[in-house]
């Protein structure tokens, strides 16, 4: 023990022996409580890299798919103008460059299936993305984004260069959500897109 440390210990020990024990213990506890609280807040902020994983399915606002199909007429590429589903089942396709949008509602069965998929994805949003090699067609891609009610968003499915696709919220859960979302989009995205 260094000399300065021993001197500090003696002063604290004498203060406790001299009747100042409660104030020393109170100060000790408050300083340690502050340090623990600060560490906990910092760890929470860093764990999701700015995204706090909500705890329930009702905590999402919108799922949005955007597609690219470079070798096709855009009117025949499902999702090229965007396809969004709001929490509750309302969808919007578009807008096209001329401002055209198509709106409607998905079925109760489709909504229940997506809600079940989201219940599996949302708790895993704080984890790192998992990437796979994928057979991709040059110029063709799709992203699936989730906007949360707290204002944050997460790319659930996103291409990461040629031949690689990354998933958030757990690979299997994200793949299932992507597959079910694509099935819903196939049913409701108008092809050719009206203009």
Query: Residues with Cβ < 8 Å from 119, sequence gap 6 or more?
Result: 57
Pairing of strands 90-93, 83-86: antiparallel
Which stretches does DSSP call E strand in 39-180? 60-69, 83-86, 90-93, 102-105, 130-133, 140-148, 153-159, 164-167
Regions of the chain where pLDDT drops below 50:
1-55
For residue 42, the Cα-to-chain-centroid distance in whole angstroms is 19
> 148-169 pLDDT, tens per residue?
999 999 999 999 888 899 999 9
For strand 130-133 and strand 102-105, is the pairing parallel, antiparallel, or unpaired? unpaired
Q: What is the pLDDT of residue 57?
A: 60
Whether the model pTM is above 0.75: no
Amino acid 59: pLDDT = 86
Within 10 angstroms of residue 63's Cβ, the number of other Cβ atoms is 25
The string of pLDDT tens digits covering residues 96-116 is 999 999 999 999 999 999 999
Give me the pLDDT at residue 78, please. Answer: 95
pLDDT of residue 40: 31
**For the chain, what's the residue count?**
195
């Amino acid at each position: 023990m260094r000399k300065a440390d021993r001197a500090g210990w003696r002063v604290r020990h004498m203060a406790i022996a001299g009747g100042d024990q409660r104030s020393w213990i109170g100060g000790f506890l408050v300083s340690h409580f502050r340090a623990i609280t600060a560490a906990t807040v910092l760890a929470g902020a860093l764990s999701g890299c700015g995204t706090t994983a909500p705890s329930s399915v009702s905590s999402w606002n919108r799922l949005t798919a955007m597609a690219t199909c470079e070798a096709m007429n855009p009117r025949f590429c499902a999702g090229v103008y965007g396809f969004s589903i709001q929490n509750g089942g309302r969808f919007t396709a578009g807008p096209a460059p001329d401002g055209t949008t198509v709106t409607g509602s998905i079925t109760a069965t489709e909504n229940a299936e997506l809600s079940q998929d989201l219940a599996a994805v949302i708790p895993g949003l704080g984890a790192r993305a998992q990437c796979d090699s994928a057979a991709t067609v040059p110029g063709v891609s799709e992203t699936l984004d989730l906007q949360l009610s707290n204002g944050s968003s997460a790319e659930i499915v996103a291409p990461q260069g040629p031949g690689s696709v990354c998933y958030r919220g757990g690979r299997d859960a994200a793949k299932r959500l992507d597959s079910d979302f694509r099935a819903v989009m196939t049913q409701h995205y108008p092809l050719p897109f009206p203009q």
